[in-house]
């Protein structure tokens, strides 16, 4: 005889709880599926028939729609014939348009957009190069803009040079296959816009009202003039991110409305950021001569500087944290530079910096004296600046000859800095070497407002160096509210469950 609990479970198995959810919640859940899959839910029941029409977001991946047909078409049809067919779709009348697999997928996208019966929040479209040639990619953007969409992400499927489906492409198709030729009123008509893997052309630039606030270019090629025009005409732009873009010359950012600027994995001859209201600047693995870096950002509150020397193609040309500090602070003064004090209002500093390099220490100590309003300092010590030999201003020696005293006395010889008002210090990749320990000791004994120091050790450490770090807990603290947290490296966190003492015990084995 079954008990009450088993009987209740058996009864509940026949209940469709999902279909009983409110329309808005059900549509939000189903909208997280790729759109072709979401539309297919309409056959499940009468209740689900129109749920997909109420999606708050759309997510298209053209290659995955009609996947067997498209893969067969890509594999067995010469790419030049596919591009020719796409071009015919652009110029032919509606009656004579081709109906290949890619055209059918494009028609599905248009049908889903047209069938929308409620407001859209966002849309992401990942499409094939043929949709650039046919002009359908631009057509979708126009259609969505007409539907009132404000947030869109457009991505061209893989770069044709790396895609086996495009190896036989003739050079004459090269530009058309990746060009997004956008009217400026469409480009600036969205509030949030992300473009990836395109050669971008925009025309004509007009002075109509623009609402574009957040713009991301990822692996986008464009002329420097077009970038300047975008900044000039988009008067509401607040957030700009450039990732792996090809602009060839200097990058000049001059926008009174801009508040956040991020530049990642790019190579250029110079960077000029002249934005009176900018609050956040992030420089991530950028190749640029330090003397050509200009930051005129008097209201800057957050500065992030990252450089991955081990994976950079041109290590000696990679812009490093110490060079940004030296150039911006005046330690190194390249001829003709005109840079304001970027430290004056800085609240958060996140940097990659090798704390065992003397030149880094000179730059960091100068910054600490200049950062009167700094509250949060985050340092990734897991970089080795000795991999590079890039000389700017100050010699890059890491020995005693660049100091008037032994290098191990560096932090002991620093003057007491009353301006250290930091609240938090976060150190990643800590190994417990003498320079690192002396720096933390200097902060503990001098930072009277410090509330928390968090130290994440590197995955590979020596027992005696870890113990030397533990000894820091016994030093007198300048702040009575200071707590110091020691954690093993992230790989060891998983192995020992985050228990620091257990990790330390394993180092003696």
Q: How many CB atoms lie within 10 A of CB 216?
A: 17
C-alpha 411/C-alpha 437 separation (Å) is: 10
pLDDT at 167 over 90: no
Q: How confident is the model at residue 118, as a pLDDT?
A: 73
Q: How confident is the model at residue 170, as a pLDDT?
A: 82
Q: How confident is the model at residue 226, as a pLDDT?
A: 86
Q: Which of 83, 211, 172, 170 is nearest to 135 (CA)?
A: 83
Q: How confident is the model at residue 102, as a pLDDT?
A: 93
Lowest mean pLDDT among 37-46, 94-103, 184-193, 387-396: 387-396
* Model confidence pLDDT, tens digit, residues 18-34: 666 666 666 666 666 65
Q: How confident is the model at residue 467, as a pLDDT?
A: 93
Cα→Cα distances 459→41, 168, 262, 504, Å: 47, 46, 29, 12
Q: How confident is the model at residue 18, as a pLDDT?
A: 63
C-alpha 192/C-alpha 102 separation (Å) is: 27
pLDDT interval class at 361 (50, 70, 90):
confident
Say which residue the tokens 């988009």 belong to.
234
Q: Which two tokens stand for residue 507?
A: 């180092």
Lowest mean pLDDT among 326-340, 344-358, 463-477: 326-340
pLDDT interval class at 289 (50, 70, 90):
confident
Residue 343 vs residue 385, higher pLDDT: 343
Q: Does residue 204 have a cis peptide bond before it, meaning omega lies within 30 degrees of 0?
A: yes
pLDDT interval class at 178 (50, 70, 90):
very high
Q: How confident is the model at residue 400, as a pLDDT?
A: 47
Q: Which of 217, 64, 58 is nearest to 123 (CA)?
A: 58
Residue 149 sits at φ, ψ, to 5 deg, of: -65, 145
Q: How confident is the model at residue 46, as a pLDDT?
A: 55
Q: How confident is the model at residue 397, as a pLDDT?
A: 45
pLDDT interval class at 407 (50, 70, 90):
low
pLDDT interval class at 310 (50, 70, 90):
low
pLDDT interval class at 72 (50, 70, 90):
very high
Q: Give residues with Cβ within 8 angstroms of 78, minimum separation 6.
A: 168
pLDDT interval class at 385 (50, 70, 90):
low
Q: What value does the mean pLDDT of the chain take?
A: 81
Q: Check: CB of residue 212 under 8 Å from CB of residue 234.
A: yes
State the DSSP code for 477.
P
C-alpha 414/C-alpha 30 separation (Å) is: 60
Give mean pLDDT, residues 153-171: 78
Residue 127's Cβ-side half-sphere holds a number of Cα atoms within 13 Å equal to 33
Q: How confident is the model at residue 389, as a pLDDT?
A: 46
Residues 158, 159, 164, 170, CA torsion sign: positive
Give mean pLDDT, residues 143-169: 83
Q: How confident is the model at residue 5, as a pLDDT?
A: 54
Q: Which of 342, 212, 349 is nearest to 274 (CA)?
A: 342
Q: How confident is the model at residue 11, as a pLDDT?
A: 47
pLDDT at 206 over 90: no
pLDDT at 39 over 80: no
C-alpha 265/C-alpha 219 separation (Å) is: 10
pLDDT at 337 over 50: no
pLDDT at 413 over 50: yes
Q: How confident is the model at residue 104, as a pLDDT?
A: 92
Q: How confident is the model at residue 309, as a pLDDT?
A: 63
pLDDT at 1 over 50: no
Residue 15 vs residue 206, higher pLDDT: 206
Q: How confident is the model at residue 436, as a pLDDT?
A: 92
Lowest mean pLDDT among 35-49, 296-310, 377-391, 454-468: 35-49
pLDDT interval class at 239 (50, 70, 90):
very high
pLDDT at 399 over 60: no
Give mean pLDDT, residues 385-404: 47
| C-alpha torsion angle, residues 343, 349, 350, 354 (rounded to 10) | 70
pTM: 0.84
Q: How confident is the model at residue 422, as a pLDDT?
A: 83
Q: Give residues with Cβ within 8 angstroms of 482, minimum separation 6.
A: 444, 447, 450, 451, 452, 453
Q: How confident is the model at residue 32, as a pLDDT?
A: 61
Q: How confident is the model at residue 415, as a pLDDT?
A: 64
Give mean pLDDT, residues 312-331: 72
Lowest mean pLDDT among 101-105, 161-165, 398-402: 398-402
Q: How confident is the model at residue 489, as a pLDDT?
A: 85
* Model confidence pLDDT, tens digit, residues 183-204: 988 888 999 999 999 999 988 8
Q: Which of 267, 221, 262 is nearest to 241 (CA)?
A: 262
Say which residue the tokens 């290949």 belong to.
100
pLDDT at 53 over 80: no
pLDDT at 161 over 60: no
């Amino acid at each position: 005889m079954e008990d009450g609990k088993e009987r209740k479970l058996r009864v509940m198995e026949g209940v469709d709880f999902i279909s009983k959810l409110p329309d808005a919640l059900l549509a939000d859940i189903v909208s997280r599926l790729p759109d072709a899959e979401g539309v297919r839910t309409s056959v499940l029941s009468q209740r689900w028939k129109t749920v997909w029409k109420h999606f708050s977001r759309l997510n298209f991946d053209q290659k995955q729609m009609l996947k067997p047909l498209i893969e067969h078409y890509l594999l067995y049809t010469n790419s030049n014939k596919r591009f020719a067919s796409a071009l015919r779709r652009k110029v032919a009348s509606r009656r004579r348009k081709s109906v290949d697999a890619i055209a059918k997928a494009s028609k599905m996208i248009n049908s889903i957009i047209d069938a929308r019966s409620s407001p859209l929040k966002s849309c992401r479209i990942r499409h094939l190069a043929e949709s650039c040639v046919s002009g359908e990619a631009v057509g979708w953007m126009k259609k969505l803009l007409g539907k009132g969409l404000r947030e869109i992400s457009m991505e061209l499927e893989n770069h044709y040079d790396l895609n086996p489906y495009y190896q036989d492409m003739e050079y004459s198709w090269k530009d058309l296959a990746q060009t997004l030729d956008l009217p400026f009123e469409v480009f600036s008509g969205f509030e949030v816009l992300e473009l990836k893997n395109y050669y971008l052309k925009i025309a004509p630039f007009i002075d109509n009202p623009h609402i574009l606030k957040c713009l991301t270019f990822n692996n986008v090629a464009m002329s420097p003039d077009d970038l300047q025009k975008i900044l000039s005409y988009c008067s509401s732009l607040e957030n700009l991110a450039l990732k792996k873009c090809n602009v060839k010359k200097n990058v000049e950012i001059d926008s009174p409305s801009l508040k956040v600027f991020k530049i990642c994995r790019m190579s250029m001859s110079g960077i000029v950021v002249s934005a009176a209201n900018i609050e956040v600047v992030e420089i991530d693995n950028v190749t640029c001569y330090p003397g050509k870096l200009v930051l005129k950002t008097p209201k800057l509150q957050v500065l992030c500087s990252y450089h991955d020397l081990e994976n950079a193609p041109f290590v000696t040309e990679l812009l490093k944290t110490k060079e940004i500090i030296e150039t911006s602070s005046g330690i190194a003064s390249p001829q003709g530079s005109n840079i304001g004090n970027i430290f004056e209002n800085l609240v958060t500093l996140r940097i990659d910096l090798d704390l065992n390099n003397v030149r880094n220490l000179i730059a960091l100590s100068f910054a600490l004296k200049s950062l009167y309003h700094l509250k949060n300092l985050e340092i990734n010590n897991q970089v080795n600046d000795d991999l590079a030999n890039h000389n700017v201003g100050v010699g890059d020696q890491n020995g005693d000859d660049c100091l008037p005293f032994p290098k191990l006395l560096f932090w002991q010889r620093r003057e007491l800095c009353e301006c250290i008002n930091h609240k938090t210090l976060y150190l990643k990749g800590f190994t417990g070497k003498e320079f690192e320990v002396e720096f933390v000791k200097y902060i503990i004994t001098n930072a009277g407002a410090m509330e928390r120091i968090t130290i994440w050790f590197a995955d590979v450490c020596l027992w005696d160096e870890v113990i030397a770090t533990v000894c820091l807990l016994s030093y007198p603290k300048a702040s009575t509210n200071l707590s110091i947290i020691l954690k093993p490296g992230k790989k060891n966190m998983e192995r020992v469950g985050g228990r620091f003492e257990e990790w330390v015990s394993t180092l003696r084995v």
